[in-house]
Structure 1
């Protein structure tokens, strides 16, 4: 987990340096702020190459009917849980803090297009390849599916907690983000175990990010 964070942070720094001033523009932010995921992708691909086990960690096939069901219901479920969780956390004194402000992807169609492309083709697949493909795949070598999903989700949440600390979020925001990513990690992991198809959690993940903005474009 720490290696993933270090590689992600280094990738983030390099991305900001390479993009320069463009990374601060409205369009560039959606590319530069995914530096962590670029690092996750590099780490996952490097590990898979080292193990020479593409088939073990990258299971991709045509979605089944069950897979399509996960794709349809998964994002809606997670968005609904998030909407229900926020007021509950507010009641107990934990406020959601989304960290440093970013450009609004709905300000223009071109911004939204960049946001969707980065989310669907890079960010979500990178996180799912590392956390479900590699980490959950390794856990499955020594654990039953339920245990692998649970531990994988905890690692996924802890990684986001550490990122929240580094990003300067409030304590309440970090706790809330940790809870939300733990819940989503369980759903992503369960979808992967049930379908044995990495495309399913990747699509759910990307849809969860982009769906709330679709109606605003």
Structure 2
């Protein structure tokens, strides 16, 4: 359904501080609290996942358990968004879904190519400057399993991109429109998205590595937020997001299968919108 997602200046009467607090609360609720609850069946199905989540050693866990854990994690994000819409009486009509037009496809292609170029550019810049990237939790979950990489490509299209874009673009960013201009909303939502991951990255690397990863995460979020502003269609940033993450996993798969330089894959998987709050 298509609804007006960008109020005019006359309609933009939401309190800025309240809107920001709501956005932060939705981020914590949708990225951490609900997914934590939703993944419980996976831990019950494979108890080894509990120890692996604490140690980062997923090699002894089952493929099915890891797949279920990540699928439920993203489903949790979507559930959090739906809960918010129903709780606030906004309803499902708040969701900006429609068949992509030719104009939408231009933004899908632009967002996909732009995000991939951004990722490549930043990865190469960091390599030249000798800036390390914080370790990615997803690399621990994959645990060197080529089959898991292929499963992740499917998860990206079916769960990851749809859930994250629904929560961060169609819920959080759109909620910020009530108090801020669309582009300010994009920047605020992207800052919140990056900051909420700060503790997770700090545990995985130095401050320099953490900052490097958060810059990439922020940049990717800005790109997807911008194409959502231009298209007013959730499918547009979702498709661009899925293309970027699929590209990352394809590179990783090729690297693993053909035994290419092992440093290549982590540089492409710097955790742009792929951090799992497990």
Return the offset for 1:3.
Answer: 3.2
Higher helix share: 1
Q: Give TM-score scaled by structure 2 length.
A: 0.66
Query: Secondary structure of 1:152's match?
Result: helix
> How far apart are residue 180 of structure 1 and its match?
0.9
Superposition map of 1:62-73 within 5 A: 62-73=99-110
Please list, as runs of the form range in 1=range in 2, the aligned pairs for 1:173-192 lying within 5 A after superposition: 173-192=209-228
Distance of 1:49 and 1:33 partners within structure 2: 25
SS at match of 2:233: coil
Mapped pair 1:142 → 2:196: no
Q: Which residue of 2 aligns with 1:51?
A: 88
Residue 29 of structure 2 corresponds to residue 3 of structure 1:
yes
Q: Which residue of 1 aligns with 2:241?
A: 205
- TM-score if structure 1 supplies the norm length? 0.83
Question: RMSD between aligned alpha carbons?
Answer: 2.8
User: What's the counterpart of residue 132 of structure 1?
Assistant: 169
Aligned residue pairs total: 214
| 2-structure distance, mates of 1:104, 1:203 | 27
CA distance in 2, matches of 1:67, 1:161: 33
State how far apart, in whole Å, the 1-side matches of 2:87 and 2:66 are.
Answer: 32
- The residue aligned with 2:78 is 41
Q: 1:25 aligns with which of 32, 40, 62?
A: 62
* Greater Rg over alpha carbons, structure: 2
Greater CA deviation, 187-196 or 26-35?
26-35
**Unpaired segments of 5 or more residues in structure 1?**
none
Could you tell me how far apart the structure 2 residues matched to 1:54 and 1:146 are? Answer: 24
